[in-house]
C-alpha cells in the first residue's frame, strides 16, 4: 500500500501502542525492533517530549503520547482519504471476494457500500463461507481476495486486518452444567476446533448440542439456552453475555482476521483490497 508521505513512522507508532511492545510492533510493520526504536526516538526529539513510558516492561503512552495518538490516526486517515479519492476514480472490472459469514454480517456492510460508492462500475462478487473452505477455494483460483480467520500463532501469510478477544458466551441466566453443552458451527470451523482443543487440554468433558453454519442460527440456539458458544467479543448480542472469569473455562487465544491476495492481482482487486484493509483500520478507532 504505497503512501505519499512518511506514514511509516506513524504506522510504527500506532503499532507500538496497539501491541504494547516494540518487538511485536516491529513484526507487524515488517521492520526490526531497532528501526522502530530509532523512528520513535526521532519522533520524540522532533516533538520535544517523550511519547512512551518505558519504565515498565510493556511500554505505555505518556499523556503527550495520548494526544499524539489522536493526531497520528487523523493524519493517516486524511492521507488515505486523499489517496483513495484520486487513485483511479473510475476503474472497472470484476472482483471475486470471499469472507467468513459472521465477519461479513458484522463489519463489512459499510465497507463494501463505501467501496461501491467510490467505484460504481466494479462488479463485486461476495462469497460467504467457512475459513477453511475459503482457503481451499483461494488456492484453486476461485477468489481474488479473501478474508480468513487464523490462529495468531501459526501465521500463514496475508496481512493482519483485525484482532479481538475470543470469549465463551452464554444466554443471560444460563446455568453451566458440569458436562458442557456446546453450540457451534459444523466441521471445518476454526473457532469450533479451537474451542474443543482448549477443552480437551483442560480435561473438561463436553458434548455438542447444536450446530448451525450461520452466526444468526448459532446465536438463536444460545439465546434459547441450548448451550454455550465461542464468540469474538464484539459480536455478542443482547441477551447473551461473556462467561465470567471466576467460572474457570480454558482461555482462548484472540480471534484474528487476515486478508489474502492472489498473486498477480488485477488493479481493481488491488484497490479493493487496500480499501478493505484501510476501512477496517478506521472502524477500529
Binding site for DNA (CB under 7 A): 6, 8, 21-24, 30-35, 37-42, 52, 54-59
Out of DNA, a copy of itself, none, what residue 237 binds, judged by CB under 5 to 8 A for its kind, is none
Residue 78 engages a copy of itself in binding (rule: CB under 8 A): yes
Q: Does 141 bind a copy of itself (CB under 8 A)?
A: no
Of 47, 126, 224, 233, which one interacts with a copy of itself (CB under 8 A)? 47
Rounded to 5°, the CA angle 120-123-124 comes to 105
Q: Could you tell me which of 285, 274, 280, 256 has the C-alpha nearest to residue 107?
A: 280
Q: Which does 206 bind (CB under 5 to 8 A by kind): DNA, a copy of itself, none?
A: none
| 9 part of the interface to a copy of itself, by CB under 8 A | yes
Among 35, 61, 67, 199, binds a copy of itself (CB under 8 A): 67
Q: Sign of dihedral through CA atoms 259, 261, 266, 267?
A: positive
Question: Taking the complex as a whole, how short is the minimal distance between the CB of residue 273 and a copy of itself, in angstroms?
Answer: 16
Nearer to DNA, 54 or 139 (CB): 54
Residues 51 and 22: their CA atoms lie apart, in Å, by 13
Residues 6+ apart with CB under 8 A from 229: 168, 169, 170, 182, 183, 184, 218, 219, 221, 222
Stretch that binds a copy of itself, among 44-52, 103-111, 154-162, 179-187 (CB under 8 A): 44-52
Q: Judged by CB under 8 A, does residue 90 bind a copy of itself?
A: no
| Cα–Cα separations (whole angstroms), residue 40 to 1, 36, 109, 151 | 22, 6, 36, 30
Give the range of 15-23, 70-78, 104-112, 177-185 binding a copy of itself by CB under 8 A: 70-78
Cβ-based nearer residue to a copy of itself, 85 or 201: 85
HSE, CB side, 13 Å, CA atoms: give it for residue 263.
2
Nearest to 161 by CA among 254, 1, 280: 280
Q: Rounded to the nearest whole angstrom, what is the least distance from the CB of residue 85 to a copy of itself in the complex?
A: 6
Cα–Cα distance between 36 and 23 in angstroms, integer?
A: 9
**Percentages (nearest 5) of helix, strand, coil residues in the chain:** 45, 20, 35
Summarize as ranges the residues that interact with a copy of itself (CB under 8 A).
2-7, 9-10, 43, 46-49, 64, 67-68, 71-72, 74-75, 78-79, 81-83, 85-88
Amino acid at each position: 500500500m504505497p503512501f505519499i508521505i512518511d506514514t511509516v513512522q506513524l504506522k510504527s507508532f500506532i503499532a507500538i501502542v496497539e501491541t504494547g511492545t516494540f518487538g511485536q510492533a516491529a513484526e507487524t510493520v515488517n521492520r526490526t525492533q531497532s528501526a522502530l526504536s530509532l523512528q520513535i526516538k526521532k519522533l520524540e526529539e522532533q516533538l520535544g517530549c517523550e511519547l512512551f513510558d518505558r519504565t515498565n516492561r510493556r511500554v505505555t503512552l505518556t499523556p503527550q503520547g495520548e494526544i499524539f495518538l489522536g493526531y497520528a490516526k487523523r493524519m493517516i486517515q486524511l492521507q488515505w482519504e486523499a489517496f483513495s479519492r484520486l487513485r483511479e476514480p473510475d476503474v472497472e472490472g470484476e472482483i471475486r471476494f470471499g469472507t467468513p459469514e459472521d465477519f461479513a454480517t458484522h463489519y463489512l456492510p459499510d465497507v463494501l457500500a463505501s467501496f461501491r460508492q467510490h467505484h460504481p462500475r466494479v462488479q463485486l462478487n461476495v462469497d460467504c463461507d467457512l475459513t477453511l473452505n475459503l482457503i481451499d477455494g483461494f488456492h484453486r483460483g476461485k477468489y481474488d481476495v479473501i478474508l480468513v480467520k487464523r490462529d495468531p500463532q501459526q501465521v500463514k501469510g496475508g496481512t493482519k486486518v483485525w484482532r479481538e478477544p475470543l470469549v465463551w458466551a452464554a444466554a443471560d441466566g444460563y446455568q453451566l452444567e458440569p458436562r458442557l453443552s456446546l453450540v457451534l458451527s459444523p466441521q471445518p470451523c476454526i473457532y469450533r476446533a479451537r474451542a474443543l482443543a482448549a477443552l480437551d487440554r483442560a480435561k473438561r468433558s463436553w458434548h455438542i448440542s447444536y450446530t448451525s453454519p450461520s452466526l444468526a442460527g448459532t446465536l438463536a440456539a444460545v439465546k434459547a439456552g441450548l448451550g454455550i458458544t465461542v464468540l469474538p467479543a464484539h459480536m455478542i448480542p443482547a441477551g447473551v453475555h461473556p462467561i465470567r472469569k471466576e467460572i474457570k473455562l480454558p482461555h482462548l487465544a484472540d480471534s484474528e482476521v487476515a486478508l489474502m491476495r492472489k498473486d498477480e492481482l488485477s488493479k481493481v482487486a488491488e484497490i479493493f483490497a487496500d480499501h478493505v484493509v484501510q476501512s477496517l483500520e478506521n472502524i477500529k478507532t
